[in-house]
């Protein structure tokens, strides 16, 4: 836990950075938000657990809302009463992990099978 005071970015700064760095995230109601679509409750729970792990490791905790086939992640730095570098850093890590598709990297990991709905997981952005 740091005693460093975070500085909140202006609305314009947040909007510009989101457009440049996190185009699928949006500023709404003082939070940066992203909705991840899944194929089922199983995928939803896996997204929640992945986000939970990243947030706990970072010691920066988002608000989450979930339903059967989606998870909304909301980030804001409460102590700064706005969006700070912490929010951008965690959003980028969440985006990297949730959108990871090993099969597209061409390495040893084949990724989730795409032709069989029994294995459907996250509805990836293409």
Query: What's the CATH number where 92 sits?
Result: 3.30.1360.20
pLDDT band with cut points at 50, 70 and 90 for residue 113: confident
| Tokens (6 digits) for 48 | 């929640």
Q: Is residue 89 part of a domain?
A: yes
Q: Is residue 2 part of a domain?
A: no
Q: Is residue 7 part of a domain?
A: no
| Tokens (6 digits) for 78 | 């409460």
Structure confidence by residue, pLDDT tens digits, 11-70: 999 999 999 999 999 999 999 999 999 999 999 999 999 999 999 999 999 999 999 999
Q: Is residue 73 part of a domain?
A: yes
pLDDT band with cut points at 50, 70 and 90 for residue 93: very high
For 79, other C-beta atoms within 10 Å of its C-beta total 13
Could you tell me the residue range of the domain that residue 49 belongs to? 30-101
Of 90, 114, 94, nearest to 104 (Cα)? 114
Give the relative orientation of helices 85-98 and 11-21 as an angle to the nearest 10 degrees: 20
Total number of domains constituting the chain: 1
**Mean per-residue pLDDT, 89-104:** 96
Q: Which residues contact 118 (CB under 8 A, 6 or more apart)?
A: none
Specify the pLDDT at position 116.
Answer: 85
Q: Is residue 70 part of a domain?
A: yes
Instruction: Output 64 or 5, whichever has higher pLDDT.
Output: 64
SS (H, E, C) the chain: CCCCCCCCCCHHHHHHHHHHHCCCCEEECCEEEEEEEECCHHHHHHHHHHHHHHHHHHCCCCEEEEECCEEEEEECEHHHCECCHHHHHHHHHHHHHHCCCHHHHCCCCCCCCCCCHHHCCECCCC
Cα 93 to Cα 95: distance, rounded to the nearest angstrom: 5
Q: Is residue 126 part of a domain?
A: no
Q: Is residue 41 part of a domain?
A: yes
Q: Is residue 96 part of a domain?
A: yes
pLDDT band with cut points at 50, 70 and 90 for residue 94: very high
């Amino acid at each position: 836990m740091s005693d460093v005071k975070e500085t909140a970015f202006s609305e314009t700064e947040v909007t510009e950075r989101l457009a440049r760095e996190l185009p699928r995230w949006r500023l709404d109601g003082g939070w940066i938000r992203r909705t991840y679509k899944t194929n089922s409750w199983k995928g939803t729970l896996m997204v929640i657990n992945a986000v939970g792990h990243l947030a706990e490791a970072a010691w920066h905790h988002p608000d989450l809302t979930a339903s059967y086939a989606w998870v909304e992640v909301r980030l804001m730095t409460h102590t700064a009463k706005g969006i700070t570098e912490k929010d951008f850093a965690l959003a980028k890590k969440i985006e990297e992990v949730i959108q990871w598709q090993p099969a597209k990297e061409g390495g040893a990991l084949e990724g989730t099978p795409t032709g069989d709905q029994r294995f459907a997981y996250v509805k990836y952005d293409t």
